Amino acid sequence: MAMAIRVFLLLLFFLSSTNIGYSLYEDQVGLMDWHQQYIGKVKHALFHTQKTGRKRVLVSTEENVVASLDLRHGEIFWRHVLGTNDVVDGLDIALGKYVITLSSDGSILRAWNLPDGQMVWETSLQGSKTSKSILYIPKNPKSDKDDLILVFGKGSLHAVSSIDGEVLWRKDFAGESIEVSHIIQSTDKIYVAGFVGSSKFYVYGLNADSGELLKNDHTILPCDTFGELLSVSGDKFVVLDKMRSKILTINIKNGEISYKQTLISDLIKESSGQAVILPSRLPELFALRIDSLVLTIKVTNEDDLVLVDKINNAAAVSDALSISEGQHAFAFIQHEGSNIHLFVKDVNDWNGDLLKESIIIDHQRGNIEKIFINNYVRTDRSYGFRALMVMEDHSLLLVQQGEIVWSREDGLASVVDVTTSELPVEKEGVSVATVEQNLFEWLKGHVLKLKGTLMIASPEDVVAIQAMRLRSSEKSKMTRDHNGFRKLLIVLTRAGKVFALHTGDGRVVWSILLHTLRKTEVCEHPVGLNIYQWQVPHHHALDENPSILVVGRCGPSLAAPAALSFIDAYTGKELNSLRLAHTIAQVIPLPYTDSTEQRLHLIIDIDQHAYLYPRTPEAIDILQREFSNVYWYSVEDDNGIVRGHALKTNCIHKIVDEYCFDFRDLWSIVFPSESEKIIATVTRKSNEVVHTQAKVMTDYDVMYKYVSNNILFVANAAPKATGEIGTATPEEAWLVIYIIDTVTGRILHRMTHHGCQGPVHAVFSENWVVYHYFNLRAHRYEMSVIEVYDQSRADNKDVWKFVLGKHNLTSPISSYYRPEVTTKSQSYFFTHSVKAIEVTLTSKGITSKQLLIGTIGDQVLALDKRFLDPRRTLNPSQAEKEEGIIPLTDSLPIIPQSYITHSLKVEGLRGIVTVPAKLESTSLVFAYGVDLFFTQIAPSRTYDSLTEDFSYALLLLTIVALVAAIFVTWVLSERKDLQEKWK
């Protein structure tokens, strides 16, 4: 018997060990997961009209993406996400078949094949100093020699062959201290123009074939200049003077510099505001913005300025587009209420419009920031125009014939913060018609499924089954489901727009451009900081909609003024917004809610005050009750100090504010600045649920997890070793790890990894922390785990103690106990470098955990926590094996099937968010970067539910068949019985 039990256990163990790899079948892709590809805010766009193939537009974006989009539908043909530090500075087309990009401050030049985006060549350009980078591809249809690419970057001018990327010649300007702003090419000469200081204008003439310096000339302008130099035509430039009252026209005909000054007040009488030259390139023209007025000014051959037109409320002006020999068109946009007017005009013929359209654009997209135009030949042989518009919320629109042909929500490429919200509960009372409809559909679906299961489905049926599964109307419903799979993901983007995405199919349910995060005169660079759950109604307050809090600030500095917005999570309406009188250094959601389930938040400003929100008397009451139990900490990264704080009294201000509190420092930890620098801090998630505190060891011993919400993990690196890997020797690199109690400031654990350095990515869950770093001695990445156990409860092992109630498990825990903790830790090698690390969360915390690792390849790897168990030994005993301890290996395995992103890539991965579903076995995972990816994972398989493709019809059929068989056999046996009796 014992043998049988052992055999059974062994079998269970083998079964469980095969479950490690979480993987799915090919036809399951897209059932629970969705993937969206974005490119980010477009910086530059180039249309190309290839004779063959479909029409496309090339774009480079602020997320460092180079992409080719379909002009008809806005789909991505190909896309390359360059690294985070590889900022694209220039984009152009060479030879009609290569896309040329200049990136990394003018040091990397790449050519991509236009149709498919394959990289053709890459050249790295050397230079000695950082400077502005300019990409210039001469458009000279007459010259038959191979196209030259002129690149100014790193303080030197490079001439690069566009065929193979070879650097033909290089001229260093690093010694001349000139800020080059333009490259001009005449037949066989190249002129480089720029400023030294702000008033000395230099022009260098170079031989186009050899880069030899032919001549240089300079002139001293009569006044300092303001802003960028704008090229009006080949050899003419305009620039504003420092007072912004004059326009300087510079002409460099044949290398001779001449200039002219014109007062702005001569052009327009009633000008009052500050003038700015718009960077649109128009032939013989330029655009000047004064307040809301845009002036178009023509530069005559004699360098005189002539005012051509005044445009009111112009939002954006495009570059000129050459439509035929000598004919140039350009577009501008005029706002008028919710309508916008798109004008396309001929540069030379100012009176008529080539195109005038008015379009209604959703005001949640904000203003138009950039416009690019392209022409096409209409069916009646006239010229048509289409415009690509970049909106304030970073979305991209294509407008043609007065309609929005397609739009892309590219703001979602720059997600800043994510939170979730439950969907509304389903209302009672469903009409009969829908039920009947559903019943028929249901039956049909199940018949199809049955066919599929019995392998008698025709190919069409298979397609229908797959489509049905994908459609699976259930999953995209706008109501709460029993399993908690359907939720709203609420994301805040860098543009200050908040989107609600449905977890079922990833569609945008609502979006709102927050006016507190829009650029205004008082707030030049608004940034969205964080998003919090403000109000999460439960049972008794279900008739209220949940709401979320968005915290924003004007500019990156902590001292900038801040604003709060409250948004209804179901409708996306802004409920309230506050411009705060104080600054925001830290937002602390407190674990208390008021009677309407609004969560109390403390906002700490930089002047050592804490402000309570919501500002209601009830909130004050609640806080007064818990006044002495509110603790928080702050980390001063650059200073190397961690401090703990507690509330003290109301503020002593001139104005009495009962929602303002002073606080005091309770503790401080000062890391020695000569040997340690803080590089990472991680805490536990406040919403994490721990199922059991006890952990039963193999020898029936019990260990108690040290589970505390006030626990902080700090990783410090040696100051010399905070740079890139390879800049420090193993002797001068070390990593010091701390686990700190944030109420009392006790250091619970402290450990040094010698010869290791950052970057450190860490995740804290339950009683353990897992962190990833680089080991310089082993030349490999490592992951370590530390588990913290509570020793003060360790003697609660005796059953009799429990029976007699002599244990201390129910006594309240205070942080002022002197903790007796032990730690266990172990390190393993890990092949990949890591971009983000997260752990699965489930609703009750029973299911075993998986680490979600965002790898350098922009994929998400699910690694079982059992691999990072400090109790792993080389030869685990039989009992340990049965418990699931894996034999010790020096490196962590990477199982290809356990990539939860399967074959997809979340380009530019920045973060992973996990949310528990209501079903205990399942956790929802949202990964964001330039792309978005969402899936459900079940770390221990879905042990608590049937799989989605479980065929209920087959089950029903089987039961029916069985019942029928019972009856038939019963009748048969009866009959036989009777016959036997008659024998």
Partner 1 sequence: MGVLLIRWVLAVTLLLTCALGFKSDELLLDDEEFGIEGGRSSSFHSDSLPPSTAATSTSWKRFSESASDSKIQFTLQHAFGDSDFSDAGNFSARLKTWGHGGQTLTKLRFKRDPLTDVEKKSFQELLRGDDFYRIRLPSNVLSPPGREYIISSVKARCLPGDGLEEHFVIHMEGVNVLAVNYGAPGSCSYPRLLKLPAKWSFKSHTVLKNSEQAPRTPIFAEDALGGEEGDGEGVKPIERSFWAKYWMYLIPLGLIVMNAVTQAMNMPEDQPGGQPGAPAQQQPGSAVQRGPSSGAVRRR
Site string for partner 1, 889-908 (x = CB under 8 A): xxx-xxx-------------
- By CB under 8 A, name the one of 753, 761, 865, 905 that touches partner 1: 753
Give whichever of 25 and 816 is closer to partner 1, judged by the CB atom: 816
CB 930 within 8 A of CB 908: yes
- By CB under 8 A, name the one of 476, 577, 668, 945 that touches partner 1: 668
Q: What is the 3-state secondary structure (H, E, C) of 467-507?
A: HHHHHCHHHHCCCCCCCCCCEEEEEEECCCEEEEEECCCCC
3-state secondary structure at position 239: strand
Q: Tell me phi and psi for residue 17, to 5 degrees.
A: -70, -20
Tokens of 821: 């903790």
3-state secondary structure at position 414: helix
First and final CA of the chain: distance in angstroms? 48
Tell me the closest approach of the beta carbon of residue 744 to partner 1, in angstroms.
7
Find the part of the chain contacting partner 1 (CB under 8 A) among 13-21, 217-225, 448-456, 498-506. 13-21
User: Going along 558-657, which residue ranges are E strands?
Assistant: 562-568, 574-579, 586-593, 599-604, 609-613, 631-636, 641-650
Burial of 543 (0-12, 13-18, 19+ CB in 10 A): exposed
403 counts as binding partner 1 under rule CB under 8 A: no
Find the part of the chain contacting partner 1 (CB under 8 A) among 7-15, 44-52, 237-245, 933-941. 7-15
Give whichever of 10 and 306 is closer to partner 1, judged by the CB atom: 10
Q: Rounded distance, CA 455 to CA 368, Å?
A: 55
Q: What is the 3-state secondary structure (H, E, C) of 930-980?
A: CCEEEEEECCCCCCCCCCCCCCHHHHHHHHHHHHHHHHHHHHHHHHHHHHH
Of 727, 721, 795, the residue nearest 759 (C-alpha): 721
Find the part of the chain contacting partner 1 (CB under 8 A) among 156-164, 191-199, 493-501, 743-751. 743-751
Of 724, 785, 721, 720, the residue nearest 756 (C-alpha): 721
Q: Rounded distance, CA 130 to CA 153, Å?
A: 7
* Full DSSP string of 535-554: E---GGGTTSPPEEEEEEEE
- By CB under 8 A, name the one of 104, 318, 375, 784 that touches partner 1: 784
974 counts as binding partner 1 under rule CB under 8 A: no
Q: Which stretch of DSSP H or E encloses residue 439?
A: helix 432-453
Find the part of the chain contacting partner 1 (CB under 8 A) among 12-20, 210-218, 507-515, 610-618. 12-20
The angle, 0 to 180 degrees and rounded to 10, between the axes of the packed helices 459-471 and 432-453 is 130
Tell me the closest approach of the beta carbon of residue 575 to partner 1, in angstroms.
38
- By CB under 8 A, name the one of 129, 310, 648, 844 that touches partner 1: 648
702 counts as binding partner 1 under rule CB under 8 A: no
1 counts as binding partner 1 under rule CB under 8 A: no
Q: What is the CA radius of gyration of the chain?
A: 34
Give whichever of 692 and 878 is closer to partner 1, judged by the CB atom: 878
Tell me the closest approach of the beta carbon of residue 806 to partner 1, in angstroms.
16
C-alpha dihedral, 275 to 280 to 286 to 287, nearest 10°: -40
9 counts as binding partner 1 under rule CB under 8 A: no
3-state secondary structure at position 797: coil
C-alpha dihedral, 278 to 283 to 285 to 288, nearest 10°: 0
Tell me the closest approach of the beta carbon of residue 110 to partner 1, in angstroms.
33
Find the part of the chain contacting partner 1 (CB under 8 A) among 80-88, 478-486, 534-542, 887-895. 887-895
CB 334 within 8 A of CB 343: yes
Tell me the closest approach of the beta carbon of residue 17 to partner 1, in angstroms.
4
Give whichever of 97 and 832 is closer to partner 1, judged by the CB atom: 832
672 counts as binding partner 1 under rule CB under 8 A: yes
Tell me the closest approach of the beta carbon of residue 887 to partner 1, in angstroms.
6
Tokens of 379: 């069916």
Tokens of 79: 């896309």
778 counts as binding partner 1 under rule CB under 8 A: yes
Name which of residues 552 to 591 contact partner 1 (CB under 8 A): none
- By CB under 8 A, name the one of 356, 887, 956, 967 that touches partner 1: 887
Tell me the closest approach of the beta carbon of residue 683 to partner 1, in angstroms.
17
Find the part of the chain contacting partner 1 (CB under 8 A) among 16-24, 65-73, 284-292, 694-702. 16-24
78: number of Cβ within 10 Å: 18
Q: Rounded distance, CA 318 to CA 738, Å?
A: 55
Q: Rounded distance, CA 842 to CA 845, Å?
A: 5
17 counts as binding partner 1 under rule CB under 8 A: yes
Tokens 């109390």, residue located: 600
Residue 27 DSSP one-character state: G
Find the part of the chain contacting partner 1 (CB under 8 A) among 152-160, 368-376, 535-543, 660-668. 660-668
Find the part of the chain contacting partner 1 (CB under 8 A) among 35-43, 417-425, 564-572, 671-679. 671-679
812 counts as binding partner 1 under rule CB under 8 A: yes
717 counts as binding partner 1 under rule CB under 8 A: no
Residue 884 DSSP one-character state: T
Q: Which stretch of DSSP H or E encloses residue 460?
A: helix 459-471
Name which of residues 867 to 886 contact partner 1 (CB under 8 A): 867, 874, 886
752 counts as binding partner 1 under rule CB under 8 A: yes
635 counts as binding partner 1 under rule CB under 8 A: no
Give whichever of 39 and 821 is closer to partner 1, judged by the CB atom: 821
Largest CA distance in the chain: 132
Tokens 């080719």, residue located: 68
- By CB under 8 A, name the one of 673, 709, 727, 973 that touches partner 1: 673
Residue type, 447: V
Site string for partner 1, 910-949 (x = CB under 8 A): ----------------------------------------
Q: Rounded distance, CA 714 to CA 738, Å?
A: 5
Find the part of the chain contacting partner 1 (CB under 8 A) among 10-18, 241-249, 272-280, 851-859. 10-18
Find the part of the chain contacting partner 1 (CB under 8 A) among 208-216, 305-313, 381-389, 672-680. 672-680
- By CB under 8 A, name the one of 97, 132, 477, 746 that touches partner 1: 746
Give whichever of 817 and 952 is closer to partner 1, judged by the CB atom: 817
Residue type, 96: G
Find the part of the chain contacting partner 1 (CB under 8 A) among 297-305, 527-535, 821-829, 939-947. 821-829
Size of the site for partner 1 (CB under 8 A): 68
671 counts as binding partner 1 under rule CB under 8 A: yes
- By CB under 8 A, name the one of 49, 113, 571, 831 that touches partner 1: 831
Tell me the closest approach of the beta carbon of residue 840 to partner 1, in angstroms.
19
Of 239, 241, 288, 248, the residue nearest 268 (C-alpha): 288
968 counts as binding partner 1 under rule CB under 8 A: no
- By CB under 8 A, name the one of 39, 257, 549, 736 that touches partner 1: 736
Beta strand 65-70 pairing with 76-81: antiparallel
C-alpha dihedral, 639 to 643 to 649 to 653, nearest 10°: 10
- By CB under 8 A, name the one of 665, 701, 795, 974 that touches partner 1: 665
190 counts as binding partner 1 under rule CB under 8 A: no
624 counts as binding partner 1 under rule CB under 8 A: no
* Full DSSP string of 799-815: HHHHHHT--SSSSPP-T
The angle, 0 to 180 degrees and rounded to 10, between the axes of the packed helices 432-453 and 952-982 is 70
Residues that bind partner 1 (CB under 8 A): 3-4, 7, 10-11, 14, 17-18, 20-21, 628, 641, 646, 648, 664-673, 675-676, 736-737, 740, 744-747, 750-754, 775, 778, 782, 784, 811-814, 816-818, 825-829, 831, 867, 874, 886-891, 893-895, 980-981
